[in-house]
Structure 1
Amino acid sequence: MYTSTFRTLRSASLAAMLALGGALLPHMASAASQNDVEARNKQIVTEAFDRWAAGGTTFFTDVLAPDATWTIKGSGPSAGVFRGVEPFVEQAVRPFVSRLSTPVRPVSKQVWADGDHVVIQWDGAGIARDGQPYNNSYAWIFHMRDGKAVEVTAFLDLEPYDDVLRRIPAPTGE
């Protein structure tokens, strides 16, 4: 009798553990997959920033999907929403970069990932064409899909950015 009861309890316990494990396995696999996505997205953004800091010039095409939406938060003439990489580069990046004698490069960064979002807080430094330093701190939030950012929200101090645009004349032909 004791052996029969023990076998029944052991079988019931084993059945319960298998049922519980079967219910948890999809969630565990999903969590592992989520961690893989986070790690991959963080790596993509980190490596692109590292190439940029080392002198690379393809950051935006490396990271952004062609139809990405880039939003610069804040108030002032440079805040706004840009739909597509080309409009963003032509309307926001190129006018600023053309007023610099040395490009802005990341000098420090912190990167976090949560699901399909990557957040990077970074400090950048460059020199304007009039010899004045440009320094700013940024926080960019990337919404990633298939290894590319499809939506970016950018926070920065727009005053120094807009000051460069006001202070330095655009090159001829711009």
Structure 2
Amino acid sequence: MMSISNSRMALIGWTVLAMTALWPHLATASGNADTVRNKQIVSDAFQRWAAGGTTFFTDLLAPEVVWTVEGSGPNAGTHRGRDALMERAVRPLAARLSESIKPVSTRIWADGDHVIVNWDGVARARDGVPYTNRYVWIMRMQDGKAIEVNAFLDLARFDDVLRRVSPQ
């Protein structure tokens, strides 16, 4: 038969064991709130964009964002600041499209301050040819804005539109 002190020791041992197992989850409780918040911010921005909104980049990106287009070729590289991204990547493509790109499918995952979005975009180039691309953006969020983005896309499709179509 176990004495009272042994029962208490067993209870303390089980408590320590349970706390050890639960500690990573308890320690990231605020991380879970950040995860939910960041995922919602990105999801809301994509929904507004899909509904015809035109302020996606200013809604979601911090002015000092560091945006890296992964891959190789003339349009791969890092843009430092939202204005640089707009000037060197977004506007050159938009000037060659007869309609804005619309996200037609989005899948979003989040963990703490990181949000990953896999999305398909469609538009029509000014020469009448459809522009479609699949994107994966890995964003690091801070204070409700993306401060770092690694963008993956089919750069051959992107580059083709820039080569084939004259800007407006």
TM-score normalised to the size of structure 2? 0.90
**CA 1:36/1:73 → structure 2, altered by over 3 Å: closer, same or farther?**
same
The match for 1:51 among 36, 48, 63 is: 48
Matches within 5 A, 1:86-105: 86-105=83-102
**Counterparts of 1:165 and 1:154, CA distance in 2:** 18
Pairing 1:111–2:108 present: yes
Larger Rg computed on CA atoms = 1
Q: Which residue of 1 aligns with 2:27?
A: 30
Q: Which residue of 2 aligns with 1:148?
A: 145
Q: Which residue of 2 aligns with 1:8?
A: 5
Deviation digits for residues 2-30 of structure 1 (CA, Å, limit 9, x no counterpart)? 7xx63222332344455556666764432
Matched residue of 1:101: which SS? Answer: coil
* More off after superposition, 22-31 vs 92-101: 22-31
Aligned-residue offset at 1:169: 1.2
RMSD: 1.9
Aligned-residue offset at 1:122: 0.8
Identity of aligned residues (%): 52
Q: Please, which runs of 5 or more residues in structure 1 have no aligned partner?
A: none
TM-score normalised to the size of structure 1? 0.87
Q: Which residue of 2 aligns with 1:62?
A: 59
Q: Please, which runs of 5 or more residues in structure 2 have no aligned partner?
A: none
Pairing 1:124–2:121 present: yes
